[in-house]
Amino acid sequence: MEIIDLTKTYEGKNVLDRFSLTLPGKGTVCLYGPSGCGKTTLLNCIAGLEPYDSGSITGTEDLKIAYLFQEDRLLPWISAAENIAAVLRGRKEQNREEARKWMRLVGLEGEDEKLPAQLSGGMKRRVAIARTLAYGGNLFLLDEPFRALDPESKEQMISLMKNKTDDALKILVTHDLQEAEMLADVTYILSGPPVRINKKTVRNL
Helix (H) or strand (E) holding 201: strand 196-202
Domain spanning 1-64+137-205: CATH superfamily: P-loop containing nucleotide triphosphate hydrolases (3.40.50.300)
**Domain parsing of the chain, residue ranges:** 1-64+137-205, 76-135
pTM for the full predicted model? 0.94
Phi then psi for 31, rounded to 5 degrees? -105, 100
pLDDT of residue 169: 97
pLDDT digits (tens, 9 = 90+) for 138-187: 999 999 999 889 999 999 999 999 999 999 999 999 988 888 888 899 99
At 202 the pLDDT is: 87
Q: Is the pLDDT of residue 205 over 70?
A: no
Query: SS3 for 159?
Result: helix
**Exposed, middle or buried, 39 (CB in 10 Å: 0-12/13-18/19+)?**
buried
Mean pLDDT of 68-74: 96
**Of 156, 152, 149, 106, nearest in space to 130 by CA:** 106
Pure H helices in 65-191: 80-85, 92-105, 121-135, 151-164, 177-183
Residue 203 pLDDT: 72
b/e burial code for range 2-27 (CB count within 10 A of at least 16 → b): ebeebebeeeeeebbbebebebeeeb
- Please tell me the predicted confidence (pLDDT) of residue 175: 83
- Spatial distance between the Cα atoms of 103 and 147, rounded to a whole number of angstroms: 18
- Integer Cα distance of 130 and 51 in angstroms: 28
Among 6-10, 111-115, 175-179, which stretch is predicted with the lowest mean pLDDT? 175-179
Q: Which of 142, 162, 157 is nearest to 32 (CA)?
A: 142
pLDDT exceeds cutoff 70 at 204: no
> Which residues partner with 10 through β-bridges?
13
pLDDT tens by residue, 25-56: 999 999 998 888 999 999 999 999 999 999 99
Lowest mean pLDDT among 28-32, 84-88, 148-152, 201-205: 201-205
Mean pLDDT of the chain: 94
